[in-house]
Structure 1
């Protein structure tokens, strides 16, 4: 019994030897030579029946996992040798991007000049490139659009319609693009129009009471088309060279001045229109220099009885062209009237006295009927 147990103990010791450091030193050489480690096994991998039957170990619940075992440390393989690497700068400057890399070489490049041999227009241009064939809606589709002094279009080769806008001036032309790098110059016969107004004798007028309407040419008015309504004095309108009709309004009643003006290419035309009008302020008082009566309704009629303007308030102020007028004031079912004459540039304050009471049924009162 003792010899048999010793033989089994020696065999089991050979299997368990790799578990500790001493077993690792006594392990047989591996297939790579005496310096290479041999075979190792986890104790938990030993069959349970051998452990329990031969060495008296109580049986366990079975194999659940492989227990980790310590492996021998390998000798230094020269990993401590430093590597010789070339010195690299912390920042390597990169060349700036080239526009030619982003934009194809073959483009349609456009610029515009004032007149055929005039200076190049530096800004405020709007470029639109249209397809020559109308779309389903009957309109020409916009292929490309740009703003500025020049335009660069990267479009396929083909035929296009180009429109260049410069304020209210513009030109449309056909462009045949071959697909190669193309430079095109568009000539605009455009100029500027700057408008002013004053009283006939040279008196200055307030800018906030002046507006201008600019129409296309046509002296008889049948072919006129409103191009720019409500233009303020001193503003420069960019227009195609040609003839225009201008209406100046001083106030909002009947002070109107008209003129036909020609705009030349490459120039700014200054035009001054003259008014024959004045500003009249009306008030109803009990005595001269008295306080104006509130809740007064005013009617201004021509000397023929046509109503020119109606207003409500203690003070009624309006600009009237020169001529004779009848002022009618209504206050508490009473009617007062006075005749006045307006002279160019002679602004005045007109007082209607309550003593100017008239019979409302009198034909002298201009009712405008």
Structure 2
């Protein structure tokens, strides 16, 4: 629907208009200038949003998730009225009160706003940075698919801290609020674990490589040294104190272990065989158990 914009008319203007009305009736009709004006949008407000890193005011250009909630001013569950993953979204809203929320990974910022008419520009500052993690053994990179990372927030009554993220992958961009975190790196699926405390600074990516002291060993039950492995063998890897580290079944399963001494137990056809062995960091090798009577 088109609305014509009319200006207020003064008393003198009104008299002049009435005096001219008779002449206008005898003159050809002249199109109103207001017919050439674009339509006016009624009842909508444009909200232009953006986010920056706190302290530097550097724009955040990726990794943002925006949500606009209706601000009802009570304890009821807020209702999402708009969302976007654009770094600089524009939202079309009805006049009213809203909560604008932006998340950058595990960091976020929010603000209550009131929109009534026209355009509104909002910039939210997020106090956040990121971690990018890798692993290595003796200077050699570990394949990303063999690593996983857990990130904790230190707590006074908890030696490890509160878990923030589990099973993060190597080279992932882990976006976090500024602060110090406890990182646990697991190489393989046994006991090859390394820990480190890392600091996240606002607007920066902290890159870190956690160096493991571990190796991958292949377990075999053989009739003679270098012989063919027996299929269907059940293996158990224990510490010298008797704690079970890893169990596996097969002809030659592989396991990644932290540097140290171990006991290997092999079970096949109702018989049990044992062997002690040592893992040296970076030295991948076969561990054979001889099936002797």
TM-score, with structure 1 as normaliser? 0.63
Higher percent of residues as strand: 2
Deviations 1:12-55 (A, max 9, x none): xxxxxxxxxxxxxxxxxxxxxxxxxxxxxxxxxxxxxxxxxxxx
> What CA distance in whole angstroms lies between the structure 1 residues aligned with 2:160 and 2:242?
34
The answer to whether 1:129 aligns with 2:71 is: no
> Is 2:48–2:90's contact at 8 Å kept on the other side of the alignment?
yes
Structure 2 vs 1, CA of residues 281 and 113 (structure 1 numbering), >3 Å: closer, same or farther?
A: same
Number of paired residues? Answer: 256
* In 2: Cα distance, 1:231 partner to 1:344 partner: 24
Residue 177 in structure 1 maps to residue 115 in structure 2? yes
Conserved 8 A contact 1:218-1:244: no
- Between the aligned partners of 2:235 and 2:209, the Cα distance in structure 1 is 33
Report the equivalent of 1:231. Answer: 168
> 2 CA distance for matches of 1:261 and 1:163?
27
* Mapped contact 1:135–1:141 kept (Cα < 8 A): no
Does 1:208 pair with 2:145? yes
Check 1:217–1:171 CA distance in 2 against 1; reply closer, same or farther (3 A cut). Answer: farther
- Cα deviation, residue 220, structure 1: 5.3
Q: Does residue 1:342 correspond to 2:279, yes or no?
A: yes
Please state which structure has a larger fraction of its residues in helix: 1
Residue equivalent to 1:319: 256
Once the 2 structures are TM-superposed, how far is the Cα of residue 353 of structure 1 from its aligned partner?
A: 0.7
**Preserved CA contact (<8 Å) 1:219 1:245:** no
The question of 1:249 aligning with 2:186 is answered yes
In 2, the alpha carbon distance for the partners of 1:270 and 1:236 equals 10
- Cα distance in 2, alignment partners of residues 156 and 352 from structure 1: 75
Rg larger in 1 or in 2? 1
- Counterpart of 1:208 in 2: which secondary structure? helix
TM superposition shift of 1:333: 1.2
Distance between the aligned counterparts of 1:232 and 1:156, measured in 2? 42
Contact 1:294–1:314, Cα closer than 8 Å, also in 2? yes
Q: 1:27 matched to which residue of 2? A: none
By relative contact order (CA 8 Å, sep 6+), the higher-ranking structure is: 2
Inter-partner Cα distance in structure 1 for 2:68 and 2:140: 49
**What runs of 5+ residues in structure 1 fail to find an aligned partner?**
1-97, 358-369
Once residues 335 and 252 of structure 1 are traced to their aligned partners in structure 2, the CA distance between those partners, rounded to angstroms, is 25
Question: Contact 1:116 / 1:188 at 8 angstroms: preserved in 2?
Answer: no
Unaligned runs of 5+ in 2: 1-37
TM-score, normalised on structure 2?
0.78
Q: 1:105 to 1:142 in 2, by over 3 A?
A: closer
CA contact (8 A) 2:152 2:160 kept: no
How many Å apart are 1:103 and its aligned residue? 8.8
Instruction: Give the whole-Å Cα distance in 1 for the aligned partners of 2:70 and 2:175.
Output: 27
What RMSD, in angstroms, separates the aligned Cα atoms of the two structures?
Answer: 2.6
C-alpha separation in 2, matches of 1:160 and 1:352: 69
Q: Which residue of structure 2 aligns with residue 279 of structure 1?
A: 216
**Cα gap change, 1:160/1:296 in structure 2, threshold over 3 Å: closer, same or farther?**
same
Deviation per residue, 1:309-337 (Å, 9 max, x gap): 21111112101112211101111111110
Q: Bigger CA drift: 140-149 or 223-232?
A: 223-232
Given the superposition, is the C-alpha separation of residues 106 and 208 from structure 1 closer, same or farther in structure 2, using an over 3 Å criterion?
closer
